[in-house]
Amino acid sequence: MKLIRALYLGNRLFVLVGTVVSTFILAFVLGEGYIIPKILFLLLLATVLTDVVLLFKTTRGLRGERIVAEKLSNGDENEISIYFESFYSLPVSLRIFDEIPHQFQRRDLEFNLVMESGSTKIVKYQLRPVKRGVYSFGSVNVLVQTKLKLVARRYKFSSNKEVPVYPSYIQMRKYELLAIHNRLTLSGIKKIRRIGHNQEFELIKEYVAGDDFRTINWKATARKSRLMVNQFQDERSQQVYSLIDKGRVMQMPFAGMSLLDYAINASLVISNIAIKKSDKAGLITFQDKIGNILKATRLNNQMATIQEVLYNQKTAFLETDYSVLYTTIRRTISQRSLLLLFTNFESIHSLHRQLPYLINLHKTHLLIVIFFENTELKTLIDNPADNLKEIYYKAVAERFSYEKKLIVKELQKHGIQSILTAPEKLTVNTINKYLELKARNLI
């Protein structure tokens, strides 16, 4: 990018100098009798000098600054702003080139605008990172020209800024606000009818119209000489653990982002929702061995700790060892908990290898196995086949799709609940399942 800018300025200067020198030679080689070339040369020279003076007479003609958040949200559109303030006494045109991180693989980020004397303007654009880590921004390069457009002055702002990309905190805040205002249905969260009474007693209060007669406390009514009812609340302090498989099965990409990153984003959101619902949130990451263990709690700094742990997750692209996971859970989690296992199974045979460990986990905890639909297969199945090759591909796709349904049935046969979801619907479907389990008093 910097080389392109240098070549651009160098070519403009070469053309300008070449034009001036050619005119000068033409004027003086042809002799004193040729007045017109001399006049043209002087006019060109005067125009160039005028343009140079207009651009460079102001020591600090332009101020600029890139405005970017301290951290970016993975998988979301993050807004980047560039602020400009002109100190020129005349209108100028700007060509803006922002050197964005190499991870985006974009070299076409150019903006053009015209600024009046003493005006300010903000250029905005959006970037969607698909991988966690540190992203390095280069400089904001600006070429300023007057209306003459013979000379360009270069400015350089906001050089070399590093910004970390964290799991999707934008998504987390979105669902947090909706949960606080009881408006989760606006994002596709189902409204689930609560079954029966909650088991946790809260207080005794005076009866008001609409209260359930079955909750009348007759002893309190006799003492107070007026109807009193028991009030219950949601059961609290239930443990919710996100179990994240970091093995190679989770490296399949979807819309540029790996299944592992989708699972990490969903784990961040569901942990936050659980804490807002007065439950405890914890985390375990694993592949051939256990990565991180974060005990379930609802302390004030728990979400910040979960976010930092999720930010640093990396994979070695190895085969997942469920025996290590089972042993660790038996040793570290004594209380019955909700286990949300984010993994992926592509065939019924891959499930059978791990099924004994899942069955044993389900005996002592409420286990939910969350795995992914292959949406590319679904597209292939839905499209009509026009030749023998496409028929063959479609048949293979239908076979793999059928295997996913067999996996769901096999888990149900052993009493294990599951979520088969498209990656983009992972967060919504996970929240729906959590709220359903809360409504049915299963946790």
CB 403 within 8 Å of CB 239: no
User: Are 308 and 347 found together in one domain?
Assistant: yes
- CATH code of the domain containing 161: 2.60.40.10
- Per-residue pLDDT for 2 more than 60? no
User: Are 205 and 273 found together in one domain?
Assistant: no
Q: Which residues contact 210 (CB under 8 A, 6 or more apart)?
A: none
Q: What is the pLDDT of residue 36?
A: 78
Of 118, 149, 166, the domain-final residue = 166
Of 183, 211, 233, the domain-final residue = 233
Q: What are phi and psi of 381, to 5 degrees?
A: -70, -40
User: Are 204 and 224 found together in one domain?
Assistant: yes
User: Are 272 and 176 found together in one domain?
Assistant: yes
CB 215 within 8 Å of CB 205: no
Place 203 in a pLDDT band, splitting at 50, 70 and 90. confident
For residue 78, being part of any structural domain is answered with: yes
Mean pLDDT of 258-285: 94
For residue 296, being part of any structural domain is answered with: yes
Looking at the DSSP bridge assignments, the partners of residue 347 are none
For residue 381, being part of any structural domain is answered with: yes
Place 365 in a pLDDT band, splitting at 50, 70 and 90. very high
User: Are 89 and 133 found together in one domain?
Assistant: yes
Q: What is the pLDDT of residue 201?
A: 58
How many domains, the chain? 3
> Cα separation of 351 and 64, whole Å?
56
- Looking at residue 111, its amino acid is F
For residue 14, being part of any structural domain is answered with: no
For residue 307, being part of any structural domain is answered with: yes
Distances (CA, A) of 154 to 22, 106, 148, 164: 26, 22, 16, 29
For residue 13, being part of any structural domain is answered with: no
Place 336 in a pLDDT band, splitting at 50, 70 and 90. very high
Side-chain half-sphere CA neighbours of 169 within 13 A: 17
Q: What percent of the chain has pLDDT over 90?
A: 55
User: Are 153 and 270 found together in one domain?
Assistant: no
Q: What is the pLDDT of residue 174?
A: 87
Of 233, 248, 282, the domain-final residue = 233
For residue 124, being part of any structural domain is answered with: yes
Domain that holds residue 331: 169-192+236-439
Q: What is the pLDDT of residue 213?
A: 73
Looking at the DSSP bridge assignments, the partners of residue 293 are 284
Which has the higher per-residue pLDDT, 3 or 70?
70
For residue 9, being part of any structural domain is answered with: no
Poorest-pLDDT segment among 18-22, 106-110, 247-251 = 18-22
User: Are 173 and 315 found together in one domain?
Assistant: yes
Mean pLDDT of 207-212: 78
Pairing of strands 417-421, 366-372: parallel
- CATH code of the domain containing 310: 3.40.50.410
User: Are 142 and 276 found together in one domain?
Assistant: no
**What is the tens place of the pLDDT at every residue in 53-97?**
999 988 889 999 999 999 999 999 999 999 999 999 999 999 999
Side-chain half-sphere CA neighbours of 64 within 13 A: 25
- Per-residue pLDDT for 20 more than 60? no
- Per-residue pLDDT for 133 more than 60? yes
Which of 182-212 are b and which e, b meaning 16 or more Cβ less than 10 Å from the residue's Cβ?
eebeeeebeeeeeeeebeeeeeeeebeeeee
User: Are 255 and 371 found together in one domain?
Assistant: yes
Poorest-pLDDT segment among 24-28, 202-206, 248-252 = 24-28
Burial of 368 (0-12, 13-18, 19+ CB in 10 A): buried
In sign, the C-alpha dihedral spanning 435, 262, 346, 336 is: negative
Which has the higher per-residue pLDDT, 36 or 354?
354
What's the whole-model pTM score? 0.79
User: Are 216 and 358 found together in one domain?
Assistant: no
**Helix (H) or strand (E) run with residue 120 in it:** strand 120-127
CB 100 within 8 Å of CB 127: yes
Which of 150-167 are b and which e, b meaning 16 or more Cβ less than 10 Å from the residue's Cβ?
bbbbebebbeeeebebbb
Poorest-pLDDT segment among 25-29, 337-341, 393-397 = 25-29
- Per-residue pLDDT for 24 more than 90? no
> What is the separation of C-alpha 293 from the centre of its chain, rounded to a whole number of angstroms?
24
**What is the tens place of the pLDDT at every residue in 37-53?**
777 878 888 888 998 99
**What is the tens place of the pLDDT at every residue in 229-247?**
887 655 557 899 999 999 9
User: Are 353 and 401 found together in one domain?
Assistant: yes
User: Are 327 and 420 found together in one domain?
Assistant: yes
Which has the higher per-residue pLDDT, 225 or 68?
68
Place 379 in a pLDDT band, splitting at 50, 70 and 90. confident
> Cα separation of 174 and 269, whole Å?
9
Mean pLDDT of 290-308: 94
